């Protein structure tokens, strides 16, 4: 399952975010989207998910234009973690995570034994196994974020798109989530995530897209893209190669 953008042009308020982007995302690949605030990371995630129409160009899934596919067909193959979501879901943590089964389920509230096992496995993977019946609305911000990631993983899509999956997470859970997501890519899925920390991208993502201003982008292997010179140009600030800011949990 391959997701491709061809000559993609995204703009907002007359300002170019992405112009002429060609991007091919294949199974077993993990991609990072990096750039300053307002560079277009969220807009690109939405376009790749078929949730935003581009100004020009197209996004295709296995060669078929995404704009021509039914939403349920897209949801069965592409999972999306959006940056913002209301926290007032009425049910339990397990109820919330099980919503990820909906695109492939015969009923909105069916609880297949296999689906339950998968949900509990991802809850355990993301350090939430001890509270499946806790009301979702009572979870902390970091716990809700891990629950939201678990919901996408229970969906079991071939392509996973995540907008800032590490927000609200402490260092330990940042590392845990990055290991989980890069493990999904190693297991055959395609993973794309908008990140703010280049060190996480360098450690876990084989490929990176750098989003500059005025629609400029560059992409390639992270080992080639995530150089000090490139990152200083991207973020418009000086970077140091040593110090506490470079430490990440193993």
Domain boundaries, the chain: 1-77+160-166+189-241
**Would the pLDDT of 112 be above 90?**
no
Mean pLDDT across 56-73: 95
This prediction's pTM: 0.93
What's the CA gap between 150 and 94, in Å, rounded? 10
| Statement: residue 86 has pLDDT above 90 | no
Confidence of residue 106 (pLDDT cuts 50, 70, 90): low
Superfamily of domain 1-77+160-166+189-241: P-loop containing nucleotide triphosphate hydrolases (3.40.50.300)
Give the residue-averaged pLDDT of 216-236: 95
pLDDT category, 244, cuts 50, 70, 90?
very low
| Cα dihedral sign, 139-142-148-154 | negative
Question: Mind listing the pLDDT tens digit for each residue in 46-64?
Answer: 999 999 999 999 999 999 9
Determine the average pLDDT of the residues in 234-241.
87
pLDDT of residue 104: 73
Give the number of other CB atoms < 10 A from CB of residue 235: 17
């Amino acid at each position: 399952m391959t997701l491709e953008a061809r000559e993609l042009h995204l703009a907002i308020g007359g300002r170019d975010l992405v112009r002429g982007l060609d991007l091919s995302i294949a199974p077993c690949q993990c991609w990072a989207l990096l750039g300053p605030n307002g560079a277009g990371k969220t807009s690109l995630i939405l376009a790749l998910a078929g949730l935003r129409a581009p100004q020009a160009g197209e996004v295709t899934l296995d060669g078929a234009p995404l704009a021509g596919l039914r939403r349920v067909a897209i949801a069965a193959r592409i999972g999306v973690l959006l940056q913002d979501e209301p926290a007032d879901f009425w049910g339990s943590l397990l109820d919330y995570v099980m919503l990820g089964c909906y695109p492939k389920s015969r009923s909105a509230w069916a609880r297949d034994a296999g689906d339950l096992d998968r949900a509990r496995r991802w809850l355990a993977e993301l350090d939430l196994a001890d509270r499946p019946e806790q009301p979702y609305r009572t979870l902390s911000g970091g716990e809700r974020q891990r629950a939201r990631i678990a919901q996408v993983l229970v969906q079991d899509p071939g392509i996973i798109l995540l907008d800032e999956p590490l927000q609200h997470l402490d260092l330990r859970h940042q590392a845990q989530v990055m290991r989980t997501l890069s493990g999904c890519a190693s297991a055959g899925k395609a993973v794309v995530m908008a990140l703010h920390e280049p060190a996480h991208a360098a450690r876990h993502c084989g490929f990176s897209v750098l989003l500059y201003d005025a629609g400029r982008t560059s992409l390639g292997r992270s080992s080639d893209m995530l150089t000090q010179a490139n990152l200083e140009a991207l973020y418009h600030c000086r970077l140091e190669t040593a110090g506490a800011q470079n430490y990440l949990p193993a």
